[in-house]
Structure 1
Amino acid sequence: MNTGDIRFPGQPISQPKPGTSPVKKKTPDVSPFSQVWQETLQKQTDVKFSAHAMQRLQDRRIELGEGELAKINQAVNAADKKGARSSLLLYDDLALVASVKNRTIITAMGGEDMREHVFTNIDSAVIIK
């Protein structure tokens, strides 16, 4: 390594000399580490369900398909873009409370159960179509 490659805080970035072209480094093919890293990032963007929410869904015999999960993910993404921390997601006759920061569905209820409850500790609501 050339000592000219090391920069210290406050040191200006050296510019290429006139008449020379910057050295282009060949980018390596996707490594196994890179692939695993991308898969990990993808998993972090998917909404998770807490044990409590899973139990509620099971008790109420509510099943969510891939399309519904994709819409829930989009709703959490929209809430996140607006700076929400805890959001009520309304989807047909289903209500979900999500921790936007943790990308986790905290609780779920449907049908008549929604009408008898007051939702607290939320700072936003998203209606899913």
Structure 2
Amino acid sequence: MGYRIINGVLYPVGDFSELHKKSDTKNLAKDSKSFKEILQSEKIKSQGFTLSNHCAQRLKERNIEINSEFLSKVNEGINRASEKGSRESLILYKDIALIASIKNRTIITAMNRQEEDINVITNIDSVVLL
């Protein structure tokens, strides 16, 4: 599955257009969602996450390439941490370390593991190894 980032928010390809539709206040009664639509909406939430502006800048500065495998694994890591009740997590994938707010499904920052100036990470309650 592919992903697309729009205004710092990550969406699965093909699903992003429906997330930005504005509802007409006159047709609120007509726009009531069925159980199936609500379930699908919740599934989409669990399939995506947001990259903070800070994280996007760090990924670019550190030449960390984002591909579909990377996005899929990070999403899997966020889902695992969420299932365990984590709030702030360090996600380790290959040579990349990510700090994530699990509750907000947001990647706060990214770094290479080889960076010498990074040796202490605070304010996390879990580590996810991918």
Scaled by the length of structure 1, what TM-score is found?
0.66
Name the one with the larger strand percent: 2
Show the counterpart of 1:127.
129
Partner of residue 57 from structure 1, selected from 56, 59, 66: 59
Structure 2 partner of 1:41: 42
Aligned residue for 1:86?
A: 88
Distance 2:86 2:76 in 1: 14
User: Which residue number in structure 1 is paired with residue 100 of structure 2?
Assistant: 98
Output one character per residue of 1:20-48: Cα deviation in whole Å (capped at 9) or x when no partner: xxxxxxxxxxx9x6587566434422111
| TM-score, normalising length: structure 2 | 0.66
Structure 2: how far apart are the matches of 1:40 and 1:87?
Answer: 25
What is the DSSP-based 3-state SS (H/G/I as helix, E as strand, rest coil) of the residue aligned with 1:118?
Answer: coil
Counterpart residue type for residue 93 of structure 2: Y
Matches of 2:67 and 2:37, distance apart in 1: 26
Question: What is the percent sequence identity of the aligned residues?
Answer: 43
Give 1:16's aligned residue: none
Matches within 5 A, 1:22-37: none
Deviations 1:42-101 (A, max 9, x none): 442211110000000000011111111111111111101111000000111100000000
Structure 1 residues not aligned, in runs of 5+: 1-30
SS of the equivalent of 1:113 reads coil
Query: Closer, same or farther in 2 for the Cα pair 1:59/1:39, shift >3 Å?
Result: farther
- Tell me the secondary structure at the aligned position of residue 97 of structure 1: strand
Report runs of 4+ in structure 1 exceeding 3 Å deviation: 33-43
Structure 2 residue matching 1:62: 3-state secondary structure: coil
Query: CA distance change for structure 1 residues 114 and 49 in 2, over 3 Å: closer, same or farther?
Result: farther
| Secondary structure of the structure 1 residue equivalent to 2:100 | strand
Structure with bigger gyration radius = 1
